[in-house]
Amino acid sequence: MINWSVNLTMLFNEVPFLERFQAAAVVGFQAVEFLWPNGVDLDAIVAAKEASGVEVALLNINAGDMASGDRGLTNNPKKKAWWREQTEITIGLAARLKARRINALAGNKIPGLSHDEMIDCLCDNLTWAVPKSEAHGITLMLEPLNRFESPRYLLGRIADATDVIDRLNSPTVRLQFDIYHTQRTEGNLVKLLEVHIEKIGHIQIADSPNRNQLGTGEINWPFLLGQIERLGYTDFVGLEYVPLPNTKESLNWLPDNKRGQCRADELNL
């Protein structure tokens, strides 16, 4: 069975952020996730989550000014104090939301720093965060991004992230496997899932190449999701796509009564 989570940063954006928790619940979702909600009152987020009854599967640490190109600052030695402050805030919010995963985007390559220096900073920050997240039962996620859209991002391939995970050697740091980013960069999805399944703590999906809903691109979703089931993956699969023409119509591939969980062969694909 596939356990679904819906990303509130990208879907249900027809309504204000705080209303999206209830909007997701109304159409049948039992779990949600979101990027760091800049400018939104944290107490109000907790209240909206509680009122809706949904579970929060994952949220992102503040990744900086993403609209201007930031993709996290975990690898930036000059931003270490800022990153740690933001991570403590995120862990605190995650604990209040009873969320078990937070995503730490690694950051863009920094002029004047070597690859090893950036990886050392990334590992140092994550090592610092591990006991703080462990104290609340929270897992830190590390996510590669495709270089077509994030050309300066430090971790462009699955192996870039798993090398860091192996170096840290902690069950509290796991791989966030984004199907869309991986298909754009590497393809070979099933083999990569097979090789790294024990390291994966969260999966996100969108069709390729335009990052819209399932069935709009090149991926054979019934086959791929069936393979994820075959591999015994039981954590969440997050819908992180750009809905066309709107959220409601973009969900036609997912039966109304199957938005908590379902089998791959039950989809309208």
Dihedral sign, Cα of residue 45, residue 7, residue 60, residue 140: positive
Question: Where does the chain have alpha helices with state H?
Answer: 17-26, 42-52, 80-97, 115-134, 158-168, 179-185, 189-196, 221-230, 247-250
Our measurement of the distance from residue 164's CA atom to the centroid of its chain's CA atoms, rounded to an integer in Å, reads 17
When computed from its CA atoms, the radius of gyration of the chain, rounded to whole angstroms, is 18
How many whole angstroms separate alpha carbon 52 and alpha carbon 25?
6
How many whole angstroms separate alpha carbon 46 and alpha carbon 51?
9
Residues paired with residue 7 on neighbouring β-strands, in sequence order: 33
Residues paired with residue 5 on neighbouring β-strands, in sequence order: 238
How many whole angstroms separate alpha carbon 223 and alpha carbon 227?
6
**Which residues belong to the active site?**
143, 240
CB 141 within 8 A of CB 102: yes
